[in-house]
Chains A and B, each alone.
Chain A
């Protein structure tokens, strides 16, 4: 993205930000990120990739070693946390144990010196918003994990911040509750028009909740894109591997013609692919193809495309889909997924089949 565009409509901007804790290693290396108002951005990445560090720099609890962080066009590098007006939900909720739920919610209003009547009104509204109106008098320790989560959310929102940061807020909840809360959080964020930066290392959460996802690895953003693009068009092998299930095959480019290329796999087989990170004949590449994009019905393939011979090693019935494991070009961890439709073939182990795909579904990425 160009510098000029960032300055215009961006609400939060990380401009060439670097961070080192010990002066030896960079935990965040050259981070550039720009967030328009109202966007729900998720930072996704493996453990230790620097997500929390970025969030803490934005909140003001860590200072950037280099670079600039701007909020609403203003450089906030030297603004103390309490003056940034950023709502924050912590991983362990950090509800004050010695205060009741209502007192917890009133706290940000109190330090802003609001009148008691206004305070009560806002607290009530915030509690109703997360459907916790009946729990105002309880202590945090008397609430379940999910209830504490809602209160933490309500507390971060009660003073109507324009930006809310959440660091793995659903990490401690069970699957069902988590899915429910995912829905509620996105719903609230969109309804209130709040800009949200959300940290998680759960990719499903990232895909279902966000407007855009920033995939972190090794202190860098690997790809910043909407969920569908991230899934369907990963820009490198890390992203392809990290998001969703993915079949990998190693090979060398033998021919590039515009939007398609031909790759010779290490087993000698020839396949079609879409060149993404390859530029010339002879480049090493890792091609990536999603299991559900592999076609077993030759009739549905474009004429003239290359196909591969495959041996079925395992057939797993999963209800809505079938998951079939194949041995392809020397790899025996190749997986395809097919929809459980009445006319769908159920392959038997040991059966020899032929597979193929549309060239644009198979991406020739960098070789790691």
Chain B
């Protein structure tokens, strides 16, 4: 029994609000339903949603510059390309420090590839300079050794800069043999306070040695940048020696004296870089680094629509570099043409399928489905045989006298080839939805129309056709979306003029390895499809789409 409370709520038999009881009953049902679809949901999430998310992320992700050249990016913060001059010495030194680490880890080539997308030549620039960077500041290192040969020994540096606890731990480790990894280098508090640049530079060196090269810093002479840092530190703070033990004071004082006496030259990384490659002496490479230093970039997307980012803002690419907009346009137009031919060819077949007696219709259905049972590659290759200039179709046309032998039709390796082969391959996707919609249109409608005085054509056009439009809609969406992302067939029969944007995406994923651009192109394709879907919904209405 139900009854109502004062405020109009319906009550169930147990006196609880009806709505609440209903919700409780429904919740269990919903939970059951959810558990049933959970495997599919997880599958879709893992194999579909996640990769798409990853693609969207990759199309804007740009960590590599900031990760590989952190010091350079920080040092470039104050520099503006508008100055027209290259940046100052600290930026060169920062780049030298970054490059030493990058070269050791071999990440500078990846960076080169990335920046090469934006400015061709960058890859070889970084490779060349990567080979030279070890020698930069060598004159300072040599001068230091000339002052006191002790600076040529690796242990001198670990003892000067290492934390006493680390030094003893390292000694214990060395004695025990090298089964376990060496304890990571820890700079001493005194070094960090009084020789900050040296401590930092040596810290980097020790870390790279221990992690990348798997060498002990006690056995390798540090990079020249460490020596340069030491001279810098001592110049800035000549009394730093006081903070270290008695045996260090004369050594450090000797360096200070040598510096003041002019025996140690000032480091000039700018000159070293310019010597390695003249380009470093111009603002241009610095511009590129600065422009592409943010962790997120619109560069790939701009590239995907034939634009590029310049210090002056967004600008069109040069004539020769513009390919993608044309490819997008071609993909759209060809897909539309293919959809159109599929409708033209598929509609009568679907009509026959829906209206022939069952026996004949079944046979016809098998013929329609036959292509599904043959490999896509085989079908496409068959088209190659049929369409080529010495192929079956041309032979027949020549034999029939319709085409002159010296003037055979070019049916393949162009857009015609793509249209013919893809129409054939996608035709079933048009026929099947059309058929299943037509199957539900009772023949009595046509009879009714004729009994009301309509000719065969009017009855078809005014009564049958409008009811089959949902099938056309479903088929068109299916064919168009499949066509727009098609890859194998245009690749095989499209030649240079008949390829689609997807072929370019595949190229960037497989050959040029520019995944960011591939992801941006893919994302754009996704957006285009979604927009078209939305437009379609606006014009035709998605409820009007029926797959049967």
Q: Which residues of chain A have C-beta atoms less than 8 A from B450's C-beta?
A: 60-61, 80-82
Query: How far is it, in angstroms, between the C-alpha of A229 and the C-alpha of B463 when the chains are bound?
Result: 44
> Is A94 in contact with B445, judged by CB distance below 8 angstroms?
yes
Residues of chain A within 8 A (CB-CB) of B466 are 98
A216 at the interface (CB under 8 A from B): no
Binds B, one of A85-93, A180-188, A359-367: A85-93
B320 within 8 A of A: no
Distance A98 CA – B451 CA, assembled complex (angstroms): 18
Residue A238 at the chain B interface, CB threshold 8 Å: no
For chain A, residues 76 to 135, give those with C-beta under 8 angstroms from any C-beta of chain B: 80-88, 90, 92, 94, 96-98, 107-108, 111-112
Which chain A residues lie closer than 8 Å to B444 at the CB level?
Answer: 90, 92, 94
Is A71 part of the binding interface, using a Cβ–Cβ cutoff of 8 Å?
A: no
CB distance from A358 to the nearest CB of B (A): 48
Contact B448 A94 (CB under 8 A): yes
CA A216 – CA B448 in complex, angstroms? 25
Closest chain B residue, CB of each to CB of A158: B452
Q: Does B514 contact A (CB under 8 A)?
A: no
Q: Which residue of chain B is the closest to A152 with respect to CB atoms? A: B448
Q: In the complex, which of the residues B442, B445, B452 contacts A111, with contact meaning CB atoms closer than 8 Å?
A: B452
Residue pair B452, A108 in contact (C-beta under 8 Å): yes
A150 contacts B by Cβ under 8 Å: no
Query: A155 is contacted by which of B442, B452, B458, B462 (Cβ under 8 Å)?
Result: B452
Cα–Cα distance between A80 and B458 once the two chains are bound (Å): 14
Q: Find residues 444-501 in chain B having any chain A CB closer than 8 Å to their own CB.
A: 444-445, 447-456, 458-459, 462-463, 466-467
Tell me if A82 and B447 are in contact (CB < 8 A): no
**Closest Cβ of chain A: how far from B546's Cβ, in Å?**
13
A85 to B452, CA, bound (A): 7
CB-CB under 8 A for A96 and B445, given A82-B455, A111-B452, A111-B454? yes
A159 CB within 8 Å of chain B: yes
Interface size on B, residues (CB 8 A): 19
Q: Indicate whether A59 reaches chain B with its CB closer than 8 angstroms.
A: yes
Most-contacted residue by chain A among B450, B459, B466 (CB, 10 A): B450
Interface extent on A, as a size class? 20 to 34
Residues of B close to A96: CB separation below 8 A: 445, 448-449, 463, 467
Contact residues in B for A80 (Cβ distance below 8 Å): 450
Select B452's contact among A61, A92, A98, A159, beta carbons within 8 Å.
A159
Central interface residue in A85, A107, A108, by most chain B CB within 10 Å: A107
The number of A-B residue pairs with CB atoms under 8 Å apart is 65
Residue of A at shortest CB range from B458?
Answer: A111
Across-interface contacts of A92 in B (CB, < 8 A): 442, 444
Q: Which B residues touch A107, using CB under 8 A?
A: 449, 452, 454, 462
The docked-state distance in angstroms from the alpha carbon of A159 to that of B451 is 11
Q: Which residues from chain A contact B456 at a C-beta distance below 8 Å?
A: 82
Q: Contact between A94 and B454 (Cβ–Cβ < 8 Å)?
A: no
Output the least CB separation between A251 and chain B (Å). Answer: 48
Give the docked Cα–Cα distance between A96 and B454 (Å).
13
Residues of the A chain whose Cβ atoms lie less than 8 Å from the Cβ of B463: 96
A108 near B453 with CB under 8 A, answer yes
Chain A nearest CB from B47 CB (Å) reads 40
Q: In the complex, what distance in Å separates the CA atom of A94 from the CA atom of B451?
A: 11
Q: Which residue of A lies closest to B544 (CB)?
A: A98
Contact A98 B467 (CB under 8 A): yes
Nearest residue (CB) in B for A165 is: B451
Q: Is the pair A87, B445 in contact by a Cβ cutoff of 8 Å?
A: no
- The interface residues of chain B lying within 8 Å CB-to-CB of A83 are 453
Contact A82 B453 (CB under 8 A): yes
In angstroms, how far is the closest chain B Cβ from the Cβ of A100? 13
B540 to chain A minimum Cβ distance, whole angstroms, is: 13
Complex: A90 Cα to B463 Cα, angstroms: 16
In the assembled complex, the Cα of A87 lies from the Cα of B450 at a distance in Å of: 10
Please pick, from B445, B453, B455, the residue contacting A85 in the complex, using a CB distance under 8 A.
B453
Q: Are B455 and A94 in contact (CB under 8 A)?
A: no
B430-448 contact mask (Cβ, 8 Å, vs A): 1 or 0: 0000000000001011011
What is the CB-to-nearest-CB distance from B180 to chain A, in angstroms, rounded to a whole number?
80
Pick the contact of B447 from A61, A87, A98, A159 — CB < 8 Å?
A61
CB proximity to B under 8 Å, residues A9-42:
none
Does A94 lie within 8 Å of B447, measured CB to CB?
Answer: yes
9 smallest CB-CB distances across A and B, nearest first, come from A108-B452, A94-B448, A88-B451, A81-B450, A94-B444, A98-B466, A111-B454, A82-B450, A111-B453
A-B contact list, 6 entries, CB within 8 Å: A85-B453, A90-B448, A111-B454, A112-B453, A155-B452, A165-B451
Interface residues of A (CB under 8 A from B): 59-61, 80-88, 90, 92, 94, 96-98, 107-108, 111-112, 155-156, 159, 165
* Chain B positions near chain A (C-beta within 8 angstroms): 442, 444-445, 447-456, 458-459, 462-463, 466-467
